[in-house]
Amino acid sequence: MATTIITGRDITISLASTNYAAQTLSITLVNAPVITTYQALTGKQYKHIDDQWTLNMNLLADWGATSSLFEAMWTAFTSAPNTALSFTMVTATGASFAGTAFPVAPTAGGTAPDAQTDTWAMLCASTPVLTIT
Amino acid sequence: MTATSISADVRGALATALATPLASVYTSVPETVIPPAVVIVPDSPYLESNIIGKDQVRVKINMTVSAAVAYNNNAGALDQLEVLIITLIGLMPVGYIVGDVSRPTIISVGASNLLSADLSVSTYYTQVA
């Protein structure tokens, strides 16, 4: 087959139905599986018992901007921290991951010479759904 | 920053913001540098694509703001250059990341010697049609 290369520039991210690609430097959707290991008489046995997905985002802070992502996240975290926000991440045309993730408290502040940035690790409420078209 | 051209909306806007009675400000290298002068020139890497998505072209622009004064005597020129650079940092508009100032060096332009130092500046730019 031909070599396919997709890059971060192919990604789009919508959080609570708003596209925030313009503020996002990087994003990953990561699974941390919980696999229990049993030492049986016949050797090691493995049982996959749980998954914890996390939506990791590295962002440029936009406090004070119109339709600010950071202000929206702050509001979501302070008003409804137990309500997961819907997200849709398209890694490339035709591959869309949809799920819900809990809001986090944005970090405020930064280093003098640099742009204010923040890294969010948002726990997903369930396994994201991959839609291939 | 959402704009239509880097020339007008980044370098031009930066030159306007940095306008000072202390020096002439140029958006690119002029044919003749008359000190004291401030020249906005591209840094390396000049344009960085470090934001996800490609529905719009978004880049980080790295620039160097070169400040130059006449090098007639060392103490006076260095003091004039320091005043100029401190003034430029104070005039830097919102949305521009201000980096370090390089060690002043003597450069020869035509028949004159200039004492010059470079200030690193960067900003984010989104191209609109």
- Give residue-wise pLDDT tens across range A36-60: 999 999 999 999 999 999 999 999 9
**Coil vs helix vs strand at B54:** coil
Q: Which CATH number fits domain B2-127: 3.30.70.1700, 3.40.50.2300, 3.40.1180.10, 3.30.360.10?
A: 3.30.70.1700
User: pTM for the full model?
Assistant: 0.86
The reply to whether ipTM tops 0.85 is no
Give the start-end residues of each E strand in chain B: 2-3, 24-26, 37-48, 58-70, 97-101, 105-109, 112-127
pLDDT cut 90: percent of chain A above it: 83
For residue B44, give both structure tokens: 């390396």
**A113: contact with B, CB 8 A cutoff:** yes
Q: Report whether B61 contacts B10 (CB < 8 A).
A: yes
CA-nearest residue to B119 within chain A is A113
Is the link from the previous residue into A128 a cis peptide, with omega within 30 of 0?
A: no
- pLDDT reading at B79 higher than 80: yes
Hey, where are the domains in chain B? 2-127
For residue B50, give both structure tokens: 């470090």
| Domains of chain A and CATH, by start | 8-132 (2.40.30)
**B126: contact with A, CB 8 A cutoff:** yes
Partners of A23 on chain B (C-beta within 8 Å) are 51
- Give residue-wise pLDDT tens across range A79-111: 999 999 999 999 988 899 999 999 999 999 999
Average pLDDT over residues A51-76: 94
CA-nearest residue to B89 within chain A is A113
Which secondary-structure segment (H or E) carries B88?
helix B74-91
- Please provide the DSSP assignment of A44-90 as one string: EEEEEEEEEEEEEEEEE--TTSTT-HHHHHHHHHHH-TTSPEEEEEE
Q: What is the pLDDT, as a whole number, of residue B62? A: 95
